[in-house]
Amino acid sequence: MPELPEVEVVRRGLQSSLTGRTIRSAEARVPALRWPLPPALDACLRGARVQEVLRRGKYLLLRLDRGWLIVHLGMSGTLRFLRQPEPPQRHDHVDLVFEHGVLRLRDPRRFGALLWHPAQAGAPWAHPLLAGLGVEPLSDAFDGALLHRALRGRRVAIKLLLLAGTVVVGVGNIYASESLFRAGILPGTPAGRISRARCERLAAAIRATLTQAIERGGSSLRDFVGTGGECGHFQLECLVYGRAGQPCRNCGTPIRSRMQQQRATYWCPRCQH
Ligand SMILES: [Zn+2]
Average pLDDT, the chain: 94
Q: What is the DSSP string of 142-181?
A: -SHHHHHHHHTT--SBHHHHHHH-SSBS---HHHHHHHHH
Find, among 118, 95, 105, the residue nearest to 25 by Cα: 95
Q: How confident is the model at residue 18 (pLDDT cuts 50, 70, 90)?
A: very high
Q: Give the containing element (helix H, strand E) for 85.
A: none
CB atoms within 10 A of CB 40: 11
How far, in Å, from the CA of 260 to the mean position of ligand 1?
20
pLDDT tens sequence across 81-99: 999 989 999 999 999 999 9
Given a contact cutoff of 8 angstroms between Cβ atoms, the answer to whether 231 and 221 are in contact is no
Identify the pLDDT of residue 79: 95
pLDDT tens sequence across 177-203: 999 999 999 999 999 999 999 999 999
- Do the first three CATH levels of 4-131 and 144-267 match, i.e. the same topology? no
Identify the pLDDT of residue 45: 96
pLDDT tens sequence across 218-234: 887 666 778 888 888 88
pLDDT tens sequence across 141-174: 999 999 999 999 999 999 999 999 999 998 999 9
pLDDT tens sequence across 38-79: 999 999 999 999 999 999 999 999 999 999 999 999 988 999
Which class in CATH covers the domain with range 4-131?
Answer: alpha beta
How far, in Å, from the CA of 184 to the mean position of ligand 1?
9
How far, in Å, from the CA of 110 to the mean position of ligand 1?
39
Q: Is pLDDT above 90 for 25?
A: yes
Identify the pLDDT of residue 221: 67
Identify the pLDDT of residue 219: 83
Task: Provide the residue ranges of all domains of the chain, joining segments of one domain with +.
Answer: 4-131, 144-267
What does the pLDDT average to over 116-134? Answer: 92
How far, in Å, from the CA of 163 to the mean position of ligand 1?
23
Within 38-102, residue ranges assigned H as helices are: 41-45
Check if CATH label 1.10.357.10 holds for domain 144-267. Answer: no
Q: How far apart are CA 126 and CA 117, in angstroms?
A: 11
How far, in Å, from the CA of 105 to the mean position of ligand 1?
41
How far, in Å, from the CA of 220 to the mean position of ligand 1?
25
What does the pLDDT average to over 96-118? Answer: 95
What does the pLDDT average to over 239-261? Answer: 96
Identify the pLDDT of residue 105: 97
Residues labelled catalytic: 2-3, 58, 263
What does the pLDDT average to over 242-255? Answer: 97
Identify the pLDDT of residue 1: 78
Q: How far apart are CA 25 and CA 164, in angstroms?
A: 37
